[in-house]
């Protein structure tokens, strides 16, 4: 890591001073406490924060959330906004390979007492309805026409096919559809990879988790979301699968040429980019939007599958069981959004890579269900500790382009975790020590996602909330986990 001048602005906010000799156009801002900051210094992610600050058209700062860790080009946990009118860029490295990887939280009127004595049997039953694993194929067969509709219309396709109720759309970011999507700009190879993967979980850090509400911090907001103490929540974490990965790969090659064409000096070739309003930039945005639409439909189809399985398992009592989406968020995406910049309203391209939109109350993008209280923010934990439901804030709007953390953030590489942790032993200990039922197809894959490979989620969330980027509504504890 190069030598940077870093000053502590507050207990939870640090500034990497702008150094024009390094090509920095803006400072770096890192939301962290002292302990997390030490890990940040040692991992090389500050280099990535600085590298992002050199890109054309960047506004205010190169931001890093408290769950920051090393990523491709941008750090994971990185946020940056670019002004298209001044040559601002869009970069696939600022979105990531798993376009619109995100989280959905689903509430039910079940309580812990209803399922605690049959949890293992219930998790096993549900697992048969959840296709998963690397390259895993789903149960939904898409025609070419279906694929075009999924990519262009998003959740509307799921509504028309009976996988989603119309009213559920207001509980998904952007109503479940990024309107700029155009399948014409998605390669046939990407579409080919997506045909068989709709309604699948994938592998790695993706999961389906059954949780219980462990603590309520905001009774009013929790009531609006339908949450109560000991209530059962289902959380789904997955993205655009092979289709999104291929879109990113395709456009990285295009952007590498575009960076040279537009004479953009890159400190790291993984930051390959093009002006937002260039042909290359607009084409990537259209393709990325298709990936986001696919990811939201993927989570919707998984929601349909898991709720159908749960109601079937409950049998006669299922008709009286109310299960519905709280909210669905993406945390790997770039969006054209309007923000207040130096007293004027401007449209900017906000990259959030491993970061969640955290819009405060009153924003027009929010549905009527949440406009009063702000956007629900879904923060998954590490399968052995807690997850959280937060709300967006006005402070986040003013400071970080309406952004906050997205999860715990890795402390340990996947390869290191597999060397020191045995998946079978982890599975056993989670059941014996914490009563958590884990269903996993790969023991090495499970070891990669061990709780000790991640930062303390409570610390990460505390930093985000104490910095004002979000506020707590509820804490959830895991009961059962399904992983690929």
Dump pLDDT digits (tens) for 426-474. 999 999 999 999 999 889 889 999 889 899 999 999 999 999 999 999 9
Rounded Cα distance, 470 and 436, in Å: 28
Whether the pLDDT of residue 393 is over 60: the answer is yes
Reported confidence tier of residue 178, pLDDT bands at 50, 70, 90: very high
Write the DSSP string, 5-74: -EEEEETTEEEE---GGGT-SS-EEEE--HHHHHHHHHHTHHHHHHHHTTSTTEEEEEEEEEEEE--SSS
Reported confidence tier of residue 252, pLDDT bands at 50, 70, 90: very high
Q: Would you identify the CATH topology of the domain 6-411+454-483?
A: tRNA-splicing ligase RtcB (3.90.1860)
Reported confidence tier of residue 10, pLDDT bands at 50, 70, 90: very high
Pairing of strands 28-31, 58-69: parallel
Q: 8 has which bridge partners?
A: 14
Chain segment 290-318, per-residue pLDDT in tens: 999 999 999 999 999 999 999 999 985 55
Pairing of strands 89-90, 356-357: unpaired
| Residues forming the active site | 406
Domain range list for the chain: 6-411+454-483
Write the DSSP string, 138-163: -S----HHHHHHHHHHTHHHHHHTTS
Closest CA relative to residue 468, chosen from 1, 10, 60, 8: 10
Whether the pLDDT of residue 2 is over 80: the answer is no
pLDDT score for 131 = 85
Closest CA relative to residue 233, chosen from 293, 303, 280: 303
The DSSP 8-state label assigned to residue 75 in this structure reads P
Chain segment 19-61, per-residue pLDDT in tens: 999 999 999 999 999 999 998 888 889 999 999 999 999 999 9
pLDDT score for 23 = 96
Rounded Cα distance, 367 and 377, in Å: 14
């Amino acid at each position: 890591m190069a030598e940077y001048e870093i000053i502590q602005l507050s207990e939870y906010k640090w500034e990497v001073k702008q150094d024009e000799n390094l090509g920095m156009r803006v400072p770096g801002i890192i939301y962290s406490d002292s302990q997390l900051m030490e890990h940040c210094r040692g991992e090389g992610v500050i280099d990535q924060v600085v590298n992002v600050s050199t890109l054309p058209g960047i506004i205010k700062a190169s931001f890093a959330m408290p769950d920051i860790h090393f990523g491709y080009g941008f750090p994971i946990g990185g946020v940056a906004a670019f002004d298209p009118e001044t040559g601002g860029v869009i970069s696939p490295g600022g979105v990531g390979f798993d376009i619109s990887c995100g989280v959905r939280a689903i509430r039910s009127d079940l309580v812990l007492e209803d399922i605690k004595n049959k949890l293992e049997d219930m998790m096993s039953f549900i697992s048969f309805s959840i296709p998963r694993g690397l390259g895993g194929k789903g149960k939904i067969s898409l025609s070419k026409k279906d694929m075009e509709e999924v990519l262009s219309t998003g959740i509307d396709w799921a509504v028309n096919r009976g996988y989603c109720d119309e009213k559920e759309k207001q509980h998904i970011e952007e109503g479940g559809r990024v309107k700029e999507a155009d399948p014409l700009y998605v390669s046939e190879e990407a579409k080919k990879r997506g045909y068989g993967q709709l309604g699948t979980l994938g592998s790695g850090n993706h999961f389906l988790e059954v949780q219980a509400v462990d603590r309520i911090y905001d009774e009013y907001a929790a009531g609006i979301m339908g949450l109560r103490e000991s209530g059962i929540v289902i959380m789904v974490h997955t993205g655009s699968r092979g289709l999104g990965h291929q879109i990113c790969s395709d456009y990285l090659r295009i952007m590498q040429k575009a960076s040279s064409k537009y004479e953009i000096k890159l400190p790291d070739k993984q930051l390959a980019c093009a002006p937002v309003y260039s042909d290359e930039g607009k084409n990537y945005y259209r393709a990325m939007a298709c990936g986001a639409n696919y990811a939201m439909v993927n989570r919707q189809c998984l929601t349909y599958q898991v709720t159908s399985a749960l109601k079937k398992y409950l049998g006669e009592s299922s008709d009286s069981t109310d299960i519905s989406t709280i909210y669905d968020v993406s945390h790997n995406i770039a969006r054209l959004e309007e923000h207040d910049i130096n007293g004027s309203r401007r449209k900017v391209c906000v990259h959030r890579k491993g970061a969640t939109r955290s819009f405060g109350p009153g924003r027009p993008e929010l549905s009527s269900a949440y406009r009063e209280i702000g956007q629900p923010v879904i923060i998954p934990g590490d399968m052995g500790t807690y997850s959280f439901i937060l709300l967006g804030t006005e402070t986040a709007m003013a400071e970080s382009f309406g952004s906050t953390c997205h999860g715990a953030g890795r402390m340990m590489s996947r390869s290191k975790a597999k060397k020191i942790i045995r998946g079978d032993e982890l599975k056993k200990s989670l059941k014996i020590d914490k009563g958590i039922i884990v269903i996993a197809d790969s023991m090495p894959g499970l070891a990669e996602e061990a709780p000790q490979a991640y930062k303390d989620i409570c610390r990460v969330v505390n930093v985000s909330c104490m910095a004002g980027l979000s506020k707590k509504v509820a804490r959830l504890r895991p009961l059962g986990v399904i992983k690929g």
